[in-house]
Chains A and B, each alone.
Chain A
Amino acid sequence: MSKKKAILRAAAEETFAQELKSIKAEDKGEKPSNWELSPQGVLLYIMGGKTKKGKPITPKYFGQRRLVELSIATLLTDRALLLIGIPGTAKTWLSEHLAAAISGNSRLLVQGTSGAGEDTIRYGWNYAKLLQDGPSQEALVESPVMAAMKTGKLVRIEELTRIPSDIQDGLITILSEKQLPIAELNTAVRAVEGFNVIATANDKDRGVHELSSALRRRFNTVRLPLPATLDEEVEIVHYRIKQTQKATDLKAIKEEDIRQLITVFRELRNGHTLEKDQKLKVPTSTLSTAEAISAINNCISLQVHFGQDKGAQDMLAESIVSSVIKEDAHDRLVLQEYLEAVMKMRKDWKGLYHACKSIIDRG
C-alpha cells in the first residue's frame, strides 16, 4: 500500500476518537450498562468544554443545553428518542454524536426512504442460501436494528416519517417488547441492555407517513429549533466553516459577508425583517442553517477557484440566488420583492443588491 488515501468523511467516533478517549479516561460517573461513557460524559462530549485535565472538548451541538440533556435522559429511560425539526437543524448531526459517545459506534444506521421494506428494520434473507437449505440462521441477513439489539448498541433511523406506515409499525414490538421475533425460525432476538433507537424526522414533510399513535407512544420527542438569534447562527456557521475549510481559503470571505447571507436567510425564512418592521413573503426553499453553511462553502470554493476576476460580493450573490431560487418560479418573485423592498433600502448593502439583481435579471 502506498500513501493512505484520506477518507472524505470519517465517522464521528473516528474523527473525535481523541476526545472520546480523554473523557473516558477520567469518567468516574456511573455508566448505564453497555454505555461507553456516563451520561455526564456524553453531555460534556456533545456540549464541549474542558476535561478535568484541561483537554479541550469541541462543542458538537450549539443549541440549548436542555435539549441535549433531555435527549440523553430519554436514552436512559425505557423510551426511544425522536429528534424532530425542519431540515438543517442538526438532527442527524446530534444523533450521530450521541451514538458515537454512548455506543462508540455511529454506523448502525437505517436510512428511511419511501421504498424501505421490512428487511431494513427487521431482517432479510440471503436467497441463494434460503433456496438451498431453507430458512436457517445462516441464511438470515441482519438489519442494523437487529445488530444493535444483539450487541446492546444504539441504532439510528434517519427520516423515520418517510418510511411507509406498515414498515414503521414493525418497530412497535422492538421498542415495547425489546425483542424481534423471527417467525420462520420460530425464535426471537432479544435486545441486550444498552439497545435503543434514535430516530430523526423532518417537520416539513411530517404529513408523509405520520407516526401511528401506538408508535409515537414509544418515543420521547425532542424538537430541535433553528438558532434563536442572528449572532448565534453566525457563530454556528462560522464554526462549521472553520472545521471544513482550509485556513488560507477562509480568508476568501469576510465575516461581514457571512452575516449578510445569514440575515437574508433568516429574514426570508421568518417572513419578516430582523427589525420586525416589514412583512415578507416566504420562499418554498428550505433556508436552514445547514443550507447557509453549504452556501458559504460554495461561495468560498467559487472564490478560491474562479475568483480572480470577480469580487466576493458577486460570489455571495450567486450563492444566495441559487439557494433561494431552486425550481419554483414563485421563489424568483419572492426574492425580487425582497431585493427591492429590503436590500435596496439598506445603505451598506448596495453592492450585494446590485450583484443579486444582475444575476436575477440575467435569468
Chain B
Amino acid sequence: MQVYHRSWVSNLSKTSVKTANQEVRLFGIRHHGAGSARNLMAALDFFDPQAILIEGPHDCQHLIQHVAGQNLSPPVAMMVYSNSDHAKYAYYPFTSFSPEWHAMHWGNERKKIIRFIDLPHGRMLSLREKKVKENNGTGLVADPFQYLAEIAGYTDAEAWWDDYIEQQHDPHTVFEVVSDLMVQLRKSSTFEHQTNHIREAHMRSELRKALKEGHERVAVVCGAWHVPALKHLANYSSTKDDKQWKSSRMERTSASWVPWSYGRIAKHSGYGAGVVSPFWYEALFEDPDKAVARWMSRAAKETRHLGWQSSSADAIEAGRLVHALTAIRKKNRPGISELFDAMATVFCHGDDELLERLRKRLLEGEKVGSVDPSVSMVPLQRDIEKQIKACRLSKAWESSHPVDRQLDIRKASHLRISQLLHRLTLLGIPWGVEMPLEHHSYGQFHEAWSLKWFPDFQIQIIEASLYGNTIEEASFGFVTHHLEQSNPPLDQTAALLLRVLKADLRKLIMPLCESLSRHLATQQDVQLLLALAPMLVNATRYGTTRKMDTAGIREVLAQLMPRITFALPGEVKNISDEVAQSLYPDMAKLDEALKRGGDPIFNDGWVQAMLTIMESNEVHGLMKGAILRSLFDRREYSHALTASSLQYELSRKGDPMYALQFIESFLKDGGSILIHHGPLRKALDSWVTSLTEDYFMDYLVLLRRTFSHLSQSEKENLFLLLNRAEIRQEEAPAEALATERKQLLQGALVRLLGEIDEMK
C-alpha cells in the first residue's frame, strides 16, 4: 500500500485549476477529520483565497456569518426545517475539529467571501420525497477514508490518515494526494448515486458563478468524494448542470444554529459521517503530541467516577504503554485500538467487563455545545429560556448530565418549577420526567423529577412554536388544537386534563371537561370508561389540593361513575383470561384512586358494585380476588366473612386455575394479611393441603409464582407460623391430622414458600 501510494505521489496531477489569472483549489476533506482540519488551515493560510466555497446546504448561507467570536461554541449544528411542515428537518453538525468549521472561522476573521454551494436543503427534501432510487450500500461514499483505512487494515480512519496521508508534510501536497486517490476510487467504483449527481451539478454551478465574479483565488472545501466531480469544470455543460438541479422542486425552509452534543456525532448514534470517539479527535486536533496524555488522564478520571482506584501514575503508565504498543505494531501514531488495549491492561486489570463500562463512559461521554441567544432563536425558545432562568434551572438546561430535583409544591418557587415542567411536557418537550416518589408517600405536595436535556428539544420547540410564542400561549394553542379535532381520543383528553391541572392552566379545565362529557355520552365501551375514571378521580383530588375549581370534573365523574358501577358487574361475567388481564389493572387503579380520596358518593356506588360482583359466580378469579381484598381493606367485609368467602371461593375444586388467579390478585399487595389474620391463613392452608397430588404437581409452578410476591421476611414469618400451628395440633391429639396429610402439608408448604433454609 505504502509503495503504491508513493508511486502515484510522484506523478501528481494538479488539483488546482488555473485559467488566465484565476485559480481554483479543491480541498477534499474528511468530515470531522482532525487531520484534515489541521491541514486545511495551513493550506488556507498558504493559498489565501478570496472566496471559500464550502459543501453546505445553500439555503443555510445566512448562518455562516455567526461563525465568529464567542457566538457559537461547538459542537453545534445547523438545523434546517421545512416552513410548511416542521416535522421535516435535518441537522448539519460541526465540531471543533471539523474542517468546514475552521474554513468558516478562517474566512469570517479575514472578511472573505464564504458560500455554501451544496444543493439547498429545500430541494433535498423534495428529492427525498420523490424517493429517487438510491443504492445507499457501503460506507464508501459516507466515509471513503474509513473505507481505505479498513482496506489497509486499520480500524480507525484518523490513524490511517496520519500514517498514510499526513506523512506528506506539505499540506498542499496532501490535498493533491487525496484528490488523486479519489479519482482512482471513483473510477473503480460502480456506485451510482442519483442525488449525489444532482448535488455535484449544483456545486459546479456555484463554482462557475464564483469564477464569473472574478475572484482570483477560489478555495473549495468539500468531502473528498466530490473532488473528482468538481475538478474539470470544462468537461461538464453548464446548461445541463443547471437543468439537472433545477428539476427538483424547492421547498421553503428556515435554518438556525442549535447546540449539539458529542453523543450525536459518535458513530454508534447512527450518524453517517460519525466518528468513533469525538473526544479523541478533539484531543488529536488540539495537539496531536499530547493527545494520548489528555485521553489517559480523562480515562483515569472516568475510572474514578466508576468507583475504581486509579492514580496519575496509572495514567502515565497507560500513556507509555500506548507508545510502546504503537511501536510494536509499527504505526506512526497511536489509534483508538492502542488506547483501549492499554486501558484494559492498566486501568481494568485485564477485565473485559470493566473495560466495556469504561469504554461506554469514554465514548459516550458528553460534551454539549452552546449557541448565544442573540444568534437565532424562535420566540418560544426565548420565552422558555426566560422561564428556566426565572426558575433558576439554567444550569440543567443544555446540560449533558441528568439533574434530579425533589419538589415540595407548597413552596412558591417549587410550584413554579413544577408548573414549568408540566407545561413543557404538555408541549411535547419532555425535559423533566416525573419519577415515582421514593418513600411511599401519598404526598400530593411532593414531586420528584429527573431533568435530562436532549438536542432534539430544539426541533420540538420549533414544532411547538406553531401553537404560540410563549409557553402559556402555546399550551393553550396545543390543547385547543386537540379539542378541535373531530373526535379527540377520550383517554388523551383525560390525560391532558390531569396535565393541565398540574401545569396550572385553569382556563383550560372547563373546555376539556365539556369536551369529555360531550363525547362520553356516546361512548359505550365500559373498559374505556374504566380507564378514564381513575385519571379523573386523581384530577379532582389534585385540583382540590391546589385550590382549583374542579366542579367541572366532578360533573363529568357524576356522569361517568354511575355508568361504570351499573355496567361493570355485567361486564366482568364470563370473560376470557385476556379480557380479565386487561380490565384488572384499570379496575385496581380506580379502586386505589377512590380509596385515596374520592368523593363519598362515588365511593359508595363503587362499593355497591363490588358487593354485587362478589355475589355473582361467573366472575373471573382475578377480579374477585382483588375485590375481596378491597372489601376487606375497606372493612366492608368482616374478618369472619372474608375468611369464609375465601374458603368458599377456593373450594371450587373443579377449577384450580380459578383459585390460583384468585389468590394472585388477593395477595397482590403482599402477604402481611396472612400473617396478621389467622382465619385467612387457615383457609388458604387448608386449600393447599386439600389439593390432590396430581393437581398439586400440575400447578406447582403457578402456585410458586403466586407466592413469589411475598417478601423474604413475610415468607419466613409465614413459615414459622405454619410450623407452630402444626406443633400445636400435634399436642392436641383430638385435632391431630392424619400422618399422611401432615406430611403433605409440610412438604407442600415448604416447597411453596421457597426453600427457606436454602435462602437463609
Inter-chain pairs besides A74-B345, A79-B346, A217-B313, 13 sampled, C-beta below 8 Å: A70-B325, A73-B321, A73-B325, A73-B328, A73-B342, A77-B321, A78-B317, A216-B349, A220-B345, A221-B348, A221-B349, A222-B345, A223-B352
A220 touches B328 (CB 8 A): no
| Interfacial residues of chain B within 467-501, with CB under 8 A of chain A in the complex | none
Q: Can you show 6 pairs from A to B with CB atoms below 8 A apart?
A: A69-B325, A70-B342, A73-B342, A79-B321, A84-B349, A222-B345
List of A residues within 8 angstroms of B330 by Cβ: 40
A40 CA to B346 CA, complexed, in Å: 22
Chain A residues touching B, range: 20 to 34
Quick one: closest B residue to A225, CB to CB?
Answer: B352
B349 touches A69 (CB 8 A): no
B345 touches A221 (CB 8 A): yes
B351 at interface (Cβ–Cβ under 8 A)? yes
A221 touches B350 (CB 8 A): yes
B320 touches A77 (CB 8 A): yes
| Interfacial residues of chain A within 184-226, with CB under 8 A of chain B in the complex | 213, 216-217, 220-223
Given A39-B327, A40-B328, A70-B325, are A79 and B317 neighbors across the interface (CB < 8 Å)?
yes
B320 touches A84 (CB 8 A): no
List of B residues within 8 angstroms of A72 by Cβ: 324, 328
A77 touches B349 (CB 8 A): no
What is the CB-to-nearest-CB distance from A39 to chain B, in angstroms, rounded to a whole number? 5
What is the CB-to-nearest-CB distance from B308 to chain A, in angstroms, rounded to a whole number? 10
Measured CB to CB, the residues of A under 8 A from B are 39-40, 43, 66, 69-70, 72-74, 76-79, 84, 213, 216-217, 220-223
B547 at interface (Cβ–Cβ under 8 A)? no
A223 touches B328 (CB 8 A): no
List of B residues within 8 angstroms of A223 by Cβ: 344, 349-352
- Which 8 A-B residue pairings sit nearest by Cβ, starting from the closest? A223-B350, A73-B324, A221-B349, A76-B324, A221-B350, A73-B325, A77-B320, A220-B345
B351 touches A77 (CB 8 A): no
Given A73-B321, A73-B324, A220-B317, are A84 and B350 neighbors across the interface (CB < 8 Å)?
yes
List of A residues within 8 angstroms of B352 by Cβ: 223
List of A residues within 8 angstroms of B311 by Cβ: 217
Quick one: closest B residue to A213, CB to CB?
Answer: B309
B329 at interface (Cβ–Cβ under 8 A)? yes
A303 CA to B237 CA, complexed, in Å: 83
What is the CB-to-nearest-CB distance from A80 to chain B, in angstroms, rounded to a whole number? 11
B345 touches A77 (CB 8 A): no
List of A residues within 8 angstroms of B327 by Cβ: 39, 73, 76
List of B residues within 8 angstroms of A79 by Cβ: 317, 321, 346
Point out which of B330, B337, B349 has the most chain A C-beta atoms below 10 A from its C-beta: B349
A222 touches B329 (CB 8 A): no
A76 CA to B349 CA, complexed, in Å: 18
What is the CB-to-nearest-CB distance from B330 to chain A, in angstroms, rounded to a whole number? 8
B434 at interface (Cβ–Cβ under 8 A)? no
A70 CA to B344 CA, complexed, in Å: 10
Given A84-B350, A216-B349, A220-B346, are A70 and B320 neighbors across the interface (CB < 8 Å)?
no
Measured CB to CB, the residues of B under 8 A from A are 309, 311, 313-314, 317, 320-321, 324-325, 327-330, 337, 341-342, 344-346, 348-352
Contacting residue for B321 out of A43, A66, A217, A220, CB 8 A: A220
What is the CB-to-nearest-CB distance from A78 to chain B, in angstroms, rounded to a whole number? 7
**Consensus secondary structure, chain B interface:** helix
B314 touches A69 (CB 8 A): no
A70 CA to B322 CA, complexed, in Å: 9
Given A40-B328, A72-B328, A213-B309, are A78 and B320 neighbors across the interface (CB < 8 Å)?
yes
A216 CA to B313 CA, complexed, in Å: 12
What is the CB-to-nearest-CB distance from A354 to chain B, in angstroms, rounded to a whole number? 32
List of B residues within 8 angstroms of A221 by Cβ: 345-346, 348-350
A324 CA to B341 CA, complexed, in Å: 35
A77 touches B324 (CB 8 A): yes
List of A residues within 8 angstroms of B341 by Cβ: 66, 69-70
Quick one: closest A residue to B329, CB to CB?
Answer: A69
B317 touches A222 (CB 8 A): no
Quick one: closest B residue to A216, CB to CB?
Answer: B349
List of A residues within 8 angstroms of B317 by Cβ: 77-79, 220
What is the CB-to-nearest-CB distance from B585 to chain A, in angstroms, rounded to a whole number? 33
What is the CB-to-nearest-CB distance from B299 to chain A, in angstroms, rounded to a whole number? 14
Given A220-B345, A223-B350, are A74 and B321 neighbors across the interface (CB < 8 Å)?
yes
List of B residues within 8 angstroms of A69 by Cβ: 325, 328-329, 341
Quick one: closest A residue to B350, CB to CB?
Answer: A223
A40 CA to B331 CA, complexed, in Å: 12
List of A residues within 8 angstroms of B345 by Cβ: 70, 74, 220-222
What is the CB-to-nearest-CB distance from A98 to chain B, in angstroms, rounded to a whole number? 13
A43 touches B328 (CB 8 A): yes
Quick one: closest B residue to A223, CB to CB?
Answer: B350
A250 CA to B341 CA, complexed, in Å: 39
A43 CA to B337 CA, complexed, in Å: 18
List of A residues within 8 angstroms of B320 by Cβ: 77-78
Quick one: closest A residue to B309, CB to CB?
Answer: A213
List of B residues within 8 angstroms of A77 by Cβ: 317, 320-321, 324
Quick one: closest A residue to B327, CB to CB?
Answer: A39
Quick one: closest A residue to B340, CB to CB?
Answer: A66
Quick one: closest B residue to A66, CB to CB?
Answer: B341
A78 CA to B351 CA, complexed, in Å: 21
A221 CA to B345 CA, complexed, in Å: 5
List of B residues within 8 angstroms of A76 by Cβ: 324, 327-328
A351 CA to B37 CA, complexed, in Å: 67
What is the CB-to-nearest-CB distance from B383 to chain A, in angstroms, rounded to a whole number? 54
List of B residues within 8 angstroms of A70 by Cβ: 321, 325, 341-342, 344-345
A66 CA to B328 CA, complexed, in Å: 10
What is the CB-to-nearest-CB distance from B316 to chain A, in angstroms, rounded to a whole number? 9
A213 CA to B308 CA, complexed, in Å: 11
A78 CA to B324 CA, complexed, in Å: 11
List of B residues within 8 angstroms of A40 by Cβ: 328, 330
A77 CA to B319 CA, complexed, in Å: 10
List of A residues within 8 angstroms of B350 by Cβ: 84, 221-223
A216 CA to B328 CA, complexed, in Å: 25
List of A residues within 8 angstroms of B329 by Cβ: 69
A322 CA to B466 CA, complexed, in Å: 77
List of A residues within 8 angstroms of B325 by Cβ: 69-70, 73
A221 CA to B320 CA, complexed, in Å: 15
Point out which of A39, A76, A77, A79 has the most chain B C-beta atoms below 10 A from its C-beta: A77
List of B residues within 8 angstroms of A74 by Cβ: 321, 324, 345
Given A70-B341, A84-B350, A223-B351, are A217 and B328 neighbors across the interface (CB < 8 Å)?
no
List of A residues within 8 angstroms of B321 by Cβ: 70, 73-74, 77, 79, 220
A76 CA to B319 CA, complexed, in Å: 12
A299 CA to B133 CA, complexed, in Å: 63
A43 CA to B329 CA, complexed, in Å: 10
What is the CB-to-nearest-CB distance from B304 to chain A, in angstroms, rounded to a whole number? 14
What is the CB-to-nearest-CB distance from B117 to chain A, in angstroms, rounded to a whole number? 44
What is the CB-to-nearest-CB distance from B155 to chain A, in angstroms, rounded to a whole number? 11
List of B residues within 8 angstroms of A39 by Cβ: 324, 327-328
A216 CA to B329 CA, complexed, in Å: 26
List of B residues within 8 angstroms of A84 by Cβ: 349-350
What is the CB-to-nearest-CB distance from A68 to chain B, in angstroms, rounded to a whole number? 9
A74 CA to B321 CA, complexed, in Å: 6
Quick one: closest A residue to B313, CB to CB?
Answer: A217
